[in-house]
Amino acid sequence: MSVSPPATALVLEDQDETRLHLLVALGLAFPGIDARGARTLREARALLDPPAARPWTPDLALVDLVLPDGSGIDLLRQISDRPGDTRAVVVTIYADDGHLFDAIAAGACGYLLKDMGADDLVRYLHRLEEGETPLSPAIARRMLGYFRDQPRVPDTLEPLAALTPRETEVLRLIGRGLRSGEAAKVMGVAEQTVAGYVKAIYRKLNICSRAEAALEAARRGLV
């Protein structure tokens, strides 16, 4: 996690106005940032891995989920598989927990809503950059259910895949409508600690979903 403001950013969004809106917000939030826009998955991939040059690793990637040539989820996976430290953030109009849950499992570390005004966007971007990982009650409830119902994965994955009691407590409190600061107060810890828990939960979800994908592939004899 970078504490210094991001210097480079990728914006993948097919609507021209919205892309412009996001690029402007990025410029406002982080003056002097090198932000490049892409309209399609293909364009984004070409930016990340140019044919005759070194791969580009932006500090930040804003990724829309529904794109003309596929799903942004695929790019999120690709980014989290790449070496380097790109923080991927989902930009979506449908902030429903189904879409977001899949995005987080694919490696997203936050989400922005497209209908946010420019001011709101800038504020959210700052908070993301300060290390705050957003977690809505609906997503928290969904995560709780996911980790509770998760089938046993092989032992090697177990320590990473299971939630600690503190992490479970965070999900429970946020699922009941508390903000992370309030949850921290209830648990008697610093807000930063709760933010750390939430980040760990994001990571575990990503690890679990990868383990599941690997298991599924093995089960089908793909690997």
Partner 1 sequence: MRVSSPSTLLLGVVFFCIAAALTAVSLSTGPTWLGVGLDAASADGPVVVARVDTDGPAARAGVRVGDRLVAAAGIPLTGQSLDDDDSQATQALSDAAMRRHDAMAEALKVRPVRLTVQSPGGPVRMVTLEDRPRPLSTLGVEFWANLSFGLIAALICGWVWALRPRELATQLFALTGLSMLAFTFGWAVHASLELAMDAAVLEPVLWLNMGGAVAYGGAMIAFFLSYPRRVTRLPLMLLAPVCVGIWAALPLLPGNPSLDSLGQGVTVIEMALIVVAIGVQAFASRKDPAAMAATRWLGLSVILGAGAFIVSVAAPASLGRGSLIDPRFALGFFVIIYIGMAVGLRRHKLFELDQWAFRILFYLGAGAALLILDAVLLAVLRYSPEASLGAALLVVAFAYLPFRDVLWRRTVARRTMKDHEMFAAVAQVALTHEAGARDAAWRDLLARVYEPLEIAAAPPGTDLARAAIVGEGVAMSLPPAAGAPALLLRFPARGRGLFGTAQLQLADQLASLLGQIEEGRDAYARGVVEERLRIARDLHDDVGARLLSGLHRKELSQTHEAMRGAIGDLRAIVSGLSGHELPLDDVLADLRHETAERLAAAGLTLDWPPPEDDAPGPAAPYRVYKNLTSTCREVISNAIRHAHAQRVAVTVHQSRERLDMIISDDGVGMPREPGGRRSGLANLQRRLGEIGGEVEFPDVAQGTVVRLSVPLNLGPAT
Binding footprint of partner 1 on the chain (CB under 8 A): 93-98, 114-115, 117, 120, 123, 136-138, 141, 172-179, 182, 186
At its nearest, how many Å lie between partner 1 and the CB of residue 94? 5
When the beta carbons of 48 and 174 are compared against partner 1, the nearer one is 174
Helix residue spans in the chain (DSSP H): 16-29, 41-48, 72-81, 97-105, 118-129, 137-149, 158-161, 165-175, 180-187, 191-219
C-beta closer to partner 1: residue 138 or 214: 138
**How far apart, in Å, are the Cα atoms of 206 and each of 52, 106, 150, 169?**
31, 6, 13, 19
C-beta of 59 vs 64, nearer to partner 1: 64
**50 or 117: whose CB is closer to partner 1?**
117
Strand partners, 38: 12
Which amino acid, one-letter code, is at 179?
Answer: R
The nearest distance, CB 131 to partner 1, in angstroms, is 17
Nearest to 170 by CA among 147, 150, 148, 193: 193
**Min separation Cβ 77 and partner 1, Å:** 23
**Residue 154 beta carbon to partner 1: minimum distance, rounded to whole angstroms:** 31
